[in-house]
Amino acid sequence: MTAWTNALKEKLETRTARVSVIGLGYVGLSLAVELAKAGLAVRGIDLDLERASLLNRGESYLVDVPADTLAPLVADGRLTASTTFEAAATADVLIICVPTPLRKSKEPDISFILSALESLLPHLRPGQIMVLESTTYPGTTEEVILPRLQARGLVVGSDFFLAFSPERVDPGNRQFTTATIAKVVGGVTPACTQLAAALYRQVTSKVFEVSSPRVAETAKLLENTFRSVNIALANELAFACRKIGVDPWEVIDAAATKPFGFMPFYPGPGIGGHCIPVDPLYLSWKIRLTGYEAQFIALADQINRAMPEHVVNLVADALNDRGLALRGASVLVLGITYKPDVNDIRESPALEIIQMLDRKGARVSYADPFTPQLAIENLKLSAVEPTVEALAATDCVLILTNHSRFDYATIAERASLVVDTRNALKAYRHARASIITL
């Protein structure tokens, strides 16, 4: 080991290392909090002034990070935030947790990674470790980041260290958190891997070392491709079961009684969030560059992206059966976030469904305790309360996200027509012909 390796290893093990986390969204803030709880001095860097201001006041803007957890860390000076990159010069650890969306062409957009890297470059020095957590295509760490570090004269694995460790945050999941989910780490060199592992052992004892960043990058994409493909299978099952007059939810529940060889996935109005709609396409894009087409991924994407239109057709058909046209009908959407009990609407299928309903002339309103305002294209809406009166007055209630705060018994009793895409009314629908499912 070099002197720089030993010095950084000691700082990590004694928890005297200074950490800069770049990007304070779901991933970055959760990680910053855990590192600060472990005793390290953490400076978060985010260009969003409101986020930085809230954090410095000890106020949380994420459901998964309680203010009573955040505030003491800020009060003790263990966690601070900035909108500039100067603090990176004194940091021993740099962790990049910025978004990696898709372009409209469905190609990877790593512009946020590149922007963060360019802002960091003037502040880099020997004795630091940089870890990329942003989900990206295999090869990004070694093909994009590494050359830029080498161009500044840094010798990776000797006086500077570089690794990839995929984020695994699951918003709203109380069982599996940043502190309890195993971390995969892959460094450019063995020393890089060892130091990245030493870093993450400060917040979790479950660290799995792999041979390279490329392995770690691919593993992350496989995790969410697995989910995308299986959700697509469940969605296709919903289509098929409707054709043959079978309840797909009952079929899945029956199959799930098998104690081996089966894992239940469920249909829904589409896929959303920052991972499942995006990550498989990062993998298929990289594979396509070799001349091979990942057909399974493409088919799953096609099926999943067809669900919003299917839901709108279900609403139109259900209204038609009652002698009503979709144009002019009132539709109350329950839940617009991409999953229950979070305030994240990224890639939520509800957004596309609301737009489609609006374009077809429906009078759309929505209720969501986590999203008080919604602005998409030329449509601006404010959340309403799903009161007894509101439920009774609407032509169709459309359940897109099954938040735990909704009173499903009242919904089943008071709504004259419900299209339930989440099986939220499972306990009531066999007694009510007015409840339509996928």
Query: Which are the catalytic amino acids?
Result: 275
The amino acid occupying position 110 is I
DSSP 335-397: --SSSTT----TT-HHHHHHHHHHHTT-EEEEE-TT-SEEEETTEEEE-----HHHHHH-SEE
Tell me the H-state helices in 133-257.
140, 146-150, 190-200, 213-244, 248-255
Give me the half-sphere count of Cα atoms (radius 13 Å) on the Cβ side of residue 336: 25
Rounded to whole angstroms, how far apart are CA atoms 437 and 375?
Answer: 28
Q: Which of 166, 145, 165 is nearest to 156 (CA)?
A: 145
Single-letter code of the amino acid located at 415: A
Q: Which of 297, 158, 151 has its CA nearest to residue 232?
A: 297
**Cβ 356 vs Cβ 347: under 8 Å:** no
The phi, psi pair for 374, rounded to 5°, reads -140, 130
- Residue 61 three-state SS: coil
Looking at the DSSP bridge assignments, the partners of residue 184 are: 208
Q: Which tokens belong to 267? A: 């249909």
- Rounded to whole angstroms, how far apart are CA atoms 70 and 270? 33
CA distance 375 to 176: 32
d(CA 402, CA 408): 9
| Cα–Cα nearest to 272, from 184, 371, 182 | 371
CB contact at 8 A, 125 and 159: no
